[in-house]
Amino acid sequence: MNEMDRLVQLVIEGEEEEAAALAESIVPDHDPSRIIDVLTETMREMGDKFEDGEIFLPELLIMSDALMAVMDVVEPHLRADKRQEQVTVVLGSVLGDVHEIGKNIVGIVLKANGYNVIDLGASVSADDFINKAEEKNARVIGMSSLMTTTMGQQKKVIDALVEKKIRHKYRVIVGGAPISERWAEEIGADGYAEDAFKAFKLVKTLL
């Protein structure tokens, strides 16, 4: 098994520290964007397995941790121009909602695919979403809501964008267990995705 295969294996097994250490040792001799490409492909394959019900959230979570650890090592080695081209995506779980697992995986998949992801965390107010998106010149705002009691907050953010007359500047995507295509349409979002991998495809289509 070569070093790249070994790295992929460690990421799949969620061996965070070992994966980071191996990345550290191979990054001087490898093109860093090639390492990221290979790991992105791995995540895509894992995304398919997740959709097919072959792996579940626990597996995806440990993999994501390992992938992030590798990204932290590799990213500083990327050429500066590669980083500047990035599209900025602002992500968060809406006000009153602390469910972050799905949203975090969306962030990781987008990051692995070259997006500049600004994750505002959980229970993010409409003002925080909008101020951060404006400040960072984001093109996409992604909102997660896992509860019927908080899904209404997604609409509040979109309404606030409309009120500020800046709705056209952003592609707004929504997700979460109670969310559907129909809901996205009703509140005036640009799109809905069922899981992190579909969210990535959605962002690509929207831009």
Partner 1 sequence: MVEGMTSYERVMAVLEGRLPDRVPVILQNRDWVAKQLGYNLDDIIQNAEKYVFSQYSCLREYGYDSLNDLSGVHAEAEALGTRLEVKSEWSLIVNEYAVKSQEDVKGLRVIDPYKDGRLPMILEIIRQLKSLGGQDVPVMCYVQAPLRCAAMLKGTGKVLKDMLKKPEQLYQLLEMTTICQIIYAESMIKAGADIVFVSDPISSGDVISRGQWETFAYPYTHKLVNYINNAGAKSILHVCGNTQDRLDSFASLGVDALSIEEKVDLSSAREVVGDSVCLMGNVSPEHLVSKNMREIKEDSIKCIEDAGQNGRFILSSGCLMSPDTPKNNVRAMVEAAIEHKY
Binding site for partner 1 (CB under 8 A): 14, 53, 55-59, 61-62, 65, 95-101, 104, 122-123, 147-153, 177-180, 182-183, 186
Which of 100, 190 has the CB closer to partner 1?
100
Let me know: does 18 contact 70? Beta carbons within 8 Å.
Answer: no
Nearer to partner 1, 36 or 63 (CB): 63
Least separation in angstroms between CB 55 and partner 1: 8
Angle at which helices 57-74 and 101-112 cross, to 10°? 40
Tell me the angle at which helices 32-51 and 101-112 cross, rounded to the nearest 10 degrees.
140
Q: Could you tell me the smallest distance in angstroms from the CB atom of residue 149 to partner 1?
A: 4
> With contact defined as beta carbons under 8 Å apart, do 161 and 140 qualify?
no
3-class SS of residue 142: strand
Which CB, 99 or 171, lies closer to partner 1?
Answer: 99
How far is residue 164's CA from residue 175's CA, in Å, rounded to a whole number? 23
> Of 53 and 76, which CB lies nearer to partner 1 in the complex structure?
53
CB of 54 to partner 1, least distance (A): 9
Q: How far is the CB of 65 from partner 1 (least distance, A)?
A: 8
Alpha-carbon gap, residue 81 to 78, rounded angstroms = 8
Question: What CA–CA distance (Å, rounded) separates 38 from 8?
Answer: 8
Q: Which lies closer to partner 1 via its Cβ, residue 16 or residue 190?
A: 16
| Segment (H or E) for 122 | none
Is 57 or 166 the residue whose CB approaches partner 1 more closely?
Answer: 57
CB of 124 to partner 1, least distance (A): 11
Location of structure tokens 């109670």: 178
Q: How far is the CB of 111 from partner 1 (least distance, A)?
A: 17
Residue 4, classed as helix, strand or coil, is helix
